[in-house]
Amino acid sequence: MKLSRDAMAARVARDIPEGAYVNLGIGLPTLVANHLPPGREIFLHSENGVLGMGPAPPPGEEDADLINAGRQPVTLLPGGCYFHHADSFAMMRGGHLDICVLGAFQVSATGDLANWHTGAPGAIPAVGGAMDLAIGAKRVLVMMEHHTKTGESKIVPRCSYPLTGIGCVHRIYTDLAVIDVNQDGLQVVDMVLGLSFERLQQLTAAPLLAPRGA
Amino acid sequence: MIDKTVPTADAAVAGIADGATVMIGGFGGAGQPDELIDALIARGATDLVIVNNNAGNGETGLAALLKAGRVRKVICSFPRQPDSQVFNALYRAGQIELELVPQGSLAERIRAGGAGIGAFFTPTGYGTLLAEGKETRLIQGRPHVLEYPIRADFALIKAYRGDRWGNLVYRKSARNFGPLMAMAARTTVAQVHEVVAPGDLDPEAVVTPGIFVHRVLRIAETRLAGSAKEGALPGDGHHHET
């Protein structure tokens, strides 16, 4: 019943239109690139100064000077370009990116995002570009499993982990559902086949609004 | 004749004293000036404050500088990596200070340092742990955090080509923090793959104007996987002469 990681990535990719300037966060969101239809021109941005980022190079053609935010080797599409970090983050913070897709530990009922630090003793905090993307992209999409490995809901009334941004998430894609963060609450957009709204609500720690027309 | 090129890595890092603030370019390995860092380790300066996006990978470069116990504090955005064991151990032992900065604020603070800006308000980080204790202001209905510039005694960066006036072009995503750090340090040292004659860099494509650069060190053997397949590179004036 649950969507695989690739099926989640394909679901996110469906919602990315031609011409969009998009940043895919490291980890799960990186998979979205594999599911963008080849005919659709989409500009992928990498925070380390790449616009028009292409797929991984064939083995043996990796270039240590051309990597993505996760330090994996990538390529540049014809028409792509390079720039320094202040310009790259101007694109992010300045509202020029249409979409960013981020992973998360937790998303709250009001769209607060926690995705950079567990706050656990001994944990090494690392933030990277997450806070800039969270407040800067026109649409912030979160892609995550609905539950933690120990079965707790990652959609919560209030985040217990340190925040990345306040009220910044627009839409959540999980392995169970797609949920919009609206003014009036968490609006379910669609659910995996065979899952009822009542069951989804039981599995989610924050209150949900039933899909429209359901 | 003005010649900013220096003959050796030792000469390139001369003057870096104990307690200095040193910016080091790079994002992961791309743009990291490994040879200059090695020279800094050999120089022996200690109690350093290092500004970098990360806090060292593996056991070489910045990680080796940390491991040698030369660094008092790291200002960075992303220290935690699968291979950041050197930093992790120092941090958990309380032997190194960390100032964690959102990456865009780090870049802009460095830019501001070089550009003579007193401070700036940014929406990034508002309401988070990383804005604790910082001044905030509501600007056009949106909360912002006040961030101050970062300046350094030295910047160690890696570019691709340079000339004796210090003009620089970079290579692909190795550009990252280089142009910003070059502006923000009292002494900027660039290691380059190739030194060309003044005029050979296309003036339309120079990324860092020489006014920001004080020393240029040629390290020809630096890692450049795949570069042989490239055609004309930005700023390669040889391809524009005919």
B188-200 pLDDT per residue, tens: 999 999 999 999 9
Contact B45, B65 (CB under 8 A): no
pLDDT class of A212 with cuts at 50, 70, 90: confident
Residues of chain A in contact with residue B126, where contact means CB-CB under 8 angstroms, are: 135, 165-166
> Percent of chain A scored above 90 by pLDDT?
95
Give A61-87 pLDDT, tens digit per residue: 999 999 999 999 999 999 999 999 999
Which residue out of A135, A138, A140, A158 would a mutagenesis test of the B interface target, given it has the greatest number of B Cβ atoms within 10 Å?
A135
Contact B48, B154 (CB under 8 A): no
> Percent of chain A scored above 70 by pLDDT?
100
Mean pLDDT of chain A: 96
Please name the residues in contact with A154: beta carbons below 8 A apart, sequence gap of 6 or more: A104, A105, A106, A107, A144, A145, A146, A147, A148, A174
- Model confidence pTM above 0.90: yes
pLDDT class of A122 with cuts at 50, 70, 90: confident
User: Residue A196 above 90 pLDDT?
Assistant: yes
| Minimal CA separation from A21 to chain B, in Å | 18
User: Residue A147 above 50 pLDDT?
Assistant: yes
| Minimal CA separation from B98 to chain A, in Å | 9
> φ and ψ at A152, to 5 degrees?
-85, 145
By Cβ distance, the residue of B31, B77, B104 closest to A92 is B104
∠ CA B214-B218-B221, nearest 5°, is: 150
What is the phi-psi region of residue B199: left when phi exceeds 0, alpha when psi lies from -120 to 50, beta otherwise? left
A29 touches chain B (CB under 8 A): no
Interface of A with B in 46-85 (CB under 8 A): 46-50, 57, 61-67, 71, 76, 82-85
Return the sign of the alpha-carbon dihedral for residues B78, B84, B87, B88. positive
> φ and ψ at B35, to 5 degrees?
-70, -35
Residues of chain B in contact with residue A135, where contact means CB-CB under 8 angstroms, are: 123-124, 126
Please name the residues in contact with B7: beta carbons below 8 A apart, sequence gap of 6 or more: none
ipTM value for the complex: 0.96
Contact A72, A27 (CB under 8 A): no
Mean pLDDT of chain B: 92
Catalytic residue from among A47, A62, A145, A152: A47
Q: Is A47 a catalytic residue?
A: yes
By Cβ distance, the residue of B124, B172, B176 closest to A84 is B176
By Cβ distance, the residue of B28, B170, B179 closest to A71 is B28
User: Residue A178 above 70 pLDDT?
Assistant: yes
Give A7-34 pLDDT, tens digit per residue: 999 999 999 999 999 999 999 999 999 9
Q: Calculate the CA dihedral of residues A130, A64, A97, A191 and round it to 10 degrees.
A: -70
User: Residue B163 above 60 pLDDT?
Assistant: yes
A35 touches chain B (CB under 8 A): no
pLDDT class of B225 with cuts at 50, 70, 90: very low
Max distance between CA atoms of chain B, in angstroms, equals 60
pLDDT class of B150 with cuts at 50, 70, 90: very high
